[in-house]
Amino acid sequence: MRLSPLALGLIATLSWHANANLKQQVAESMPELESLYLHLHQNPELSYKEEKTAGRLADEMRRLGYDVTENVGGFGVVGMLKNGDGPTVMIRADTDGLPIIEETGKSYASKVKVKDDAGNLVGVMHGCGHDIHMTSLIGTAKQLMANKEKWQGTLMLVAQPAEEVGGGAKAMLKEGLYTQFAKPDHVIGLHVSAAVPAGKVAIAPGYALANVDSVDIIVKGKGGHGAYPHTTIDPVVLASRIVLGLQTITSREISPLEPSVITVGSIHGGSKHNIISNEVKLQLTLRSYNPNVREQQIAAIKRLTAGIAHSAGLEDSLVPEVIVHESESIPSTYNNPELAEFVTSAIKQEIGAENVEQSQPVMAGEDFGLYGRTDDNVPITIFWLGGVNQAVFDAAQKSGEPLPSLHSSKFAPDYPIAIATGVRAMSNSALALFNQK
């Protein structure tokens, strides 16, 4: 998509004036959206288990008049509205909760407990705000249906499961999201922010979220008695050298201009004070933006671990195993700069330029990026929807106390303001995209 600034302004003006009372219409729909939010918040489901959530969203979309398909790539839901000739705009919301016991102290807090796959009883909470995303999707669906004489094209609503485990977008695309339904011209999404005040929006053009890889390293040695270390090759010592060696990959091998994170999040080995074990396991998370940096990180980890093992005298069969969990890998989210600029101007005109800021990229991951990484190269953009109550935000600024982050048991977004802002921002972005010619 390539639009001149003049065209941008003209389009925006047209779509806006045609829909000057969006704010009012969204305000009128807030009671039902708030009750939908509270229902979703109190009934969160874990990744790959979003059956009831999907059912409720499908009902909502059907009630609004969308052509709905369920069970797309697991509990994915697709709602279609073909409304004449025009572009296809896809809006995505994710649907899964997290294994967290909610500690917000709110009257509407989730009390759900379920057994996880390992058989442990865990609390479930929408600690990443996906309940806000779903409610905003339904609110937007309502506005675009109610105002369908103001746009032409195809609207594709996507409720995507299993975001937290990086599986949902992959599964929906694999099941033919772009071939069985429609290939979108633009994909837009939002994610609630635990750092931006409710009522505001922040957007990062270009790289917005990182490549994420989970990597295991199994360090092998030759165990024995702790009192006779000279008869062993100690994997605890090797693992220690590996952990320190890994620190030089980002600092000495990767360009300082390219973001890179290599974190060892877990290290386990041995069983007793006086036994030198045979094995130590490390678990790492890798982050980057550039796909070449990701490849460089993985290659360096393999080379460095093998080198340390060889230097200790281990034979080839005992070099550390480096396991990249490809099925959990998430590529970085790249916000198409032109689409990001277009969406930014659309949101500014709806909620005011003073409420829209440009944000820095973050090293967190989101499988939203996958929608732009098929062979179709569909332009995508995700924006941050402010979630923090303004008074809470101001108090934190004053005291310097950190705010509860996403995935915190204390994350309690100011949902009425966040949802109303999300619906207005998303509805106007879609309207502007439909009316861009």
Residue 220 CB contacts under 8 Å (≥ 6 apart), including other chains: 235, 278, 279, 309, 314, 318, 319, 320, 321
- The residue assigned the tokens 């837009």 is 188
> Which CB atom, from 140 or from 408, has the smaller least distance to Zn ion?
408
Catalytic residues: 96, 163
CB closer to Zn ion, 164 vs 185 = 164
Interacting span for Zn ion (CB under 5 A) from 5-13, 76-84, 122-130, 137-145: 122-130
In whole angstroms, give the CA distance from residue 211 to residue 203: 18
Residue appearing with tokens 């409420």? 355
* 132 belongs to the binding site for Zn ion (CB under 5 A): no
Q: Count CA within 13 A, CB hemisphere, residue 84.
A: 7
Q: Are 83 and 148 in contact (CB under 8 A)?
A: yes
Helix, strand, coil percentages in the chain from 3-state DSSP, rounded to 5: 40, 25, 35
Stretch that binds Zn ion, among 75-83, 127-135, 238-246, 421-429 (CB under 5 A): 127-135
User: What pairing do the DSSP bridges indicate for beta strands 380-388 and 186-197?
Assistant: parallel
Contact 278, 220 (CB under 8 A): yes
Q: Which of the stretches 20-28, 128-136, 263-271, 395-403 binds Zn ion when contact is defined by CB under 5 A?
A: 128-136
Closer by beta carbon to Zn ion, 128 or else 182? 128
Count of residues engaged in binding Zn ion, rule: CB under 5 A:
1
Please, are residues 265 and 257 in contact by the beta-carbon 8 Å criterion? no
With respect to Zn ion, which residue has the nearer C-beta, 146 or 406? 406
Q: Is 8 in the site for Zn ion (CB under 5 A)?
A: no
157 vs 254, which CB is nearer to Zn ion? 157
**Least separation in angstroms between CB 258 and Zn ion:** 25
**In contact, 265 and 284? CB cutoff 8 Å:** yes
Q: Which two tokens stand for residue 209?
A: 């979220």
Any contact of residue 128 with Zn ion (CB under 5 A)?
yes
Residue the block writes with tokens 């918040």: 41
Q: Provide, rounded to whole angstroms, the least separation between the CB of residue 163 and Zn ion.
A: 6
Residue nearest Zn ion (C-beta atom)? 128
- Nearest-approach distance from CB 196 to Zn ion, in angstroms: 14
Q: Which residues bind Zn ion (CB under 5 A)?
A: 128
